Amino acid sequence: MQCHVLDNLPGPSTGRTGWPWTKGAPLPPDRMPGGRPWPKITIVTPSYNQGRYIEETIRSVLVQGYPNLEYIIMDGGSDDNTVEIIGKYEKWLAHWESGPDAGQADALNKGFARATGEIFAYINSDDFYEPGAFARAASLLAGNATGLAAGACMIFNESGTVSVFYPKWPKELSHFLTPFGSTFAQPAGFWTRKAHEAAGGFDPGLHYAFDREFFLKMGLCGIKPVFTDTILARYRDHQETKTSNTVKFYEESMPVLIKYARECGLSDREVSRRLHGIKNDIAYLETFSTWKRSGRAAAALFFARHLLRSPDFPADRKVLGLLRRLLMFPAAKVEELKNV
């Protein structure tokens, strides 16, 4: 696919300015430092009903000005305006389709099955890349046939920047077996085709922890990442993101923990301890949610039922703190639960 510059693309949505609407990335040199051609990068975007955001995602890929780009969009059969927006950019896409799938991991596997690039990455349809991200990623992975690279990622909401997630790699791979045990933000990650093949792609049976499990498998293959503190992508924090469904992440982390515990060197006792902690966290979060949704009495009843099912539940200090608040705090102080 040829290099795409801003002037070749359809005009931006009404009133939108700046990157990636009216401002493109500086074009990289014709060749990499040292004279090597730029490797082909394949980007896959899984999508479902994100018509409010996907155009920004698409443009952040295309206006990179990267000279060797392949872009694939796999839509799960959106019934909003997503398909209309994708069609607007159809001639700049290597492939796109819209139809039912078995989830995000399944969509990614289907997309990467079509990939012909040397470097892979995926960006969700509500996130977007920073200018120069592809050239920086290609430079980080230069000469590394089986590699993983990641940069920093800006986390933002409608009010603006919330934080910046800087990449790191854990001392122990068992860190990936904790809920939300990511060590870098997925939108800022890039990896080689050989690394993808070594990891075996994404597990279609997972819907919340599939990316964390994917990078764990790379680690278990002996792949060592390279990192930069340069911000390569932005993650949009909003109520409809999967990440906002905290309980589902905790629930799905349990089978992942059990599956990889031995490969990560965890003893049966440590697995049991971690499972117990995850269950406590789930009960804690569900009690908090019940209180906010239905009031103190309903939360206390939920807590009591869980107590009967799991007699060791109160052993967790955080849960004991929740019980104290259930019994003592006035309803006006329910928000203080967030600080337990």
Partners of 128 in the beta sheet?
234
- 94 and 182 together in one domain: yes
- Give the domain extent around 72: 6-242
b/e sequence 24-44, b meaning 16+ C-beta within 10 Å:
bbeebeeeeeeeeebbbbbbb
Closest to 168 in 3D by CA, of 181, 155, 187:
181
What whole-number distance in Å separates Cα of residue 70 and Cα of residue 55?
Answer: 17
Which DSSP symbol is given to 330? -
What whole-number distance in Å separates Cα of residue 126 and Cα of residue 239?
Answer: 12
Q: What is the pLDDT of residue 314?
A: 53
What whole-number distance in Å separates Cα of residue 270 and Cα of residue 136?
Answer: 40
Q: Which residues contact 273 (CB under 8 A, 6 or more apart)?
A: none
Domain boundary among the residues 196, 227, 242 is at 242
- 186 and 49 together in one domain: yes
Q: What is the pLDDT of residue 340?
A: 42
- 216 and 292 together in one domain: no
Do the Cβ atoms of 60 and 89 come closer than 8 Å?
A: no
Helices 210-220 and 246-260 sit at what angle, rounded to 10 degrees? 30
- Tens-level pLDDT at each residue, the chain (340 residues): 445 578 889 987 778 899 999 999 999 999 998 899 999 999 999 999 999 999 999 999 999 999 999 999 999 999 999 999 999 999 999 999 999 999 999 999 999 999 999 999 999 999 999 999 999 999 999 988 889 999 999 999 888 778 999 999 999 999 999 988 789 999 999 999 999 999 999 999 999 999 999 999 999 999 989 999 999 999 998 766 655 568 888 999 999 999 999 999 999 999 999 998 888 888 878 887 887 788 878 888 887 777 777 666 555 666 667 667 766 655 444 444 444 4
- 285 and 209 together in one domain: no
Q: Which residues contact 35 (CB under 8 A, 6 or more apart)?
A: none
Give me Rg for the CA atoms of the chain.
22
- 61 and 158 together in one domain: yes
Q: What is the pLDDT of residue 187?
A: 97
What whole-number distance in Å separates Cα of residue 115 and Cα of residue 5?
Answer: 22
Q: What is the pLDDT of residue 46?
A: 98
What whole-number distance in Å separates Cα of residue 303 and Cα of residue 301?
Answer: 5
Q: What is the pTM of this model?
A: 0.89
327 domain-assigned: yes
Kindly report the CATH number assigned to the domain that includes residue 199: 3.90.550.10
253 domain-assigned: no
Q: What is the pLDDT of residue 279?
A: 85
Domain boundary among the residues 242, 257, 284 is at 242
- 64 and 202 together in one domain: yes
1 domain-assigned: no
Backbone angles phi, psi at 74, to 5 degrees: -115, 105
236 domain-assigned: yes
